[in-house]
Amino acid sequence: MHPVDLIIKKRDGAALSAAEIQMFVDGVSQGSWPDYQVSAMLMALFIRGMSDEETSALTLAMAASGRPLDLTGLPGVKVDKHSTGGVGDTTTLVLAPLVAACGVQVVKMSGRGLGFTGGTIDKLESIPGFQAAIDEERALQLARANGLVIMAQTDNLTPADKKLYALRDVTGTVDSIPLIAASIMSKKIAAGADAIVLDVKCGSGAFMKDLASARQLAQTMVRIGKHTGRVVTAVISSMDQPLGCQIGNTLEVAEAIQVLKGRQGGDLLDICLILGAEMLVAGGAAADTGTARIRLGQALADGSGLDKLRALIEGQQGDSRVVDDPLRLPQPSCRRTWAAPRSGYLTAMDTAGLGHVFVALGGGRLSKSDSIDVTAGLVMQARLGQNIVAGEPLVCLQGQNQAKVDQAHDALEALFTIETEAKPVRPLILDVIR
């Protein structure tokens, strides 16, 4: 069938078969469909929507478009975790070592930051010497030795998804639940996952601003799992404020170390225990989430989770001395504190705005080729619902460029709402979909 016939079929509202979707993805991967026809098909998919069968077929076709990671040589169920992106989301650096310490192997491909959401690979590469760009053979060696490896996504993983996303970004077709779900799930399946635990963010610092759209995305991805033979659990969590207290590459590494040492709790630890419990159950290491939470707590208390982080860093040639002395991480040359302009209750914050401040400080990228300042970031001194006093420090800014720090300082007041009356704070966990 000619490309234009497929475009017309979808434009007119008919469902595409798995073979027709495969033809479309092959055309994208092989370059036989020009960009204008790919863009036309994306717009037809965006406007007409996709059935679960179509979305699953697109997911599997994109997953197979490159060279998937083959984890069949590793024993047991391979469990992966994915976050839809947030601010101060240090989850992987805490969660992966804890889960590995409980006997579930974690082989995770992660990405770099783009836009206001941070990237796990940027955080790990802020550790002196850390090598995230490793090949499949080395990843499997590390998984067998340590039960844990976190690697950069390879260039040949889901190349069709990369091309489709680039075109979606410039054709107004990003905000499509089926296309978002297929993009996420194709990468997880191509990375070798048998079971997937999703952290779907919802709120001012998330792509999904409201619970209805977050729930729709979560349900779509869970249904894709059912259609493709994967066990998928989606936890919908609040991103009305940064998850952790620190936003930045070296800052988040240091915070993860503090959590694994048992010196910091709060939302960051809570979400790690919730997601980790789901991963242990999916991986067959615990019969239920209650038992799994107990095991994760033990890994935290006895230091075995921290030991796994140390082994991860050593295995990928990083300076593991940062675990005992975080000051070995690169340090900023400039700092400035922003204080509360008035007294009252902190009732809201523009979390995405804080992420954009992080980018402006030099910590994030607007394009993939941008270099970053790994020391740039924000240390948050207050949480939603807190009663604060005028002049009390609320945010500490840091980085290597004083002018950027000063500009960021001047932008902060517009991002916080301080009122005389307290308002309810939405719970961290908004829903769990299995």
User: What amino acid positions are annotated as catalytic residues?
Assistant: 82, 161, 168, 183, 187
Query: Residue 82: what are its φ and ψ, rounded to 5°?
Result: -140, 135
Contact 207, 84 (CB under 8 A): yes
Give the C-alpha separation, 408 to 359, whole Å. 10
Contact 260, 97 (CB under 8 A): yes
Contact 273, 286 (CB under 8 A): no
Contact 357, 212 (CB under 8 A): no
Residue 54 exposed, middle or buried by CB count within 10 Å (0-12, 13-18, 19+): buried
Length of the chain: 434
Report which of 147, 146, 149, 120 is spatially closest to residue 136, judged by C-alpha positions. 149
- Residue 305: how many other CB atoms lie within 10 Å: 29
Q: Which sign, positive or negative, has the C-alpha torsion 246, 250, 253, 254?
A: negative
Q: How far is CA 367 from the centre of its chain?
A: 18
Strand ranges (E), 21-176? 79-83, 106-110, 148-152
Give the C-alpha separation, 181 to 179, whole Å. 5
Residue with tokens 């994306």: 42
Give the C-alpha separation, 373 to 55, whole Å. 38
What residue type is 63 in one-letter code?
A: A
Contacts of 394 (CB under 8 A, 6+ apart): 338, 339, 340, 346, 380, 381, 382, 388, 412, 416
Structure letter (DSSP) for residue 75: -
Contact 220, 256 (CB under 8 A): no
Query: Residue 65: what are its φ and ψ, rounded to 5°?
Result: -75, -20
Residue with tokens 């939603």: 384
Query: Residue 17: what are its φ and ψ, rounded to 5°?
Result: -80, 165
Q: How far is CA 216 from the centre of its chain?
A: 18
Give the C-alpha separation, 21 to 18, whole Å. 5
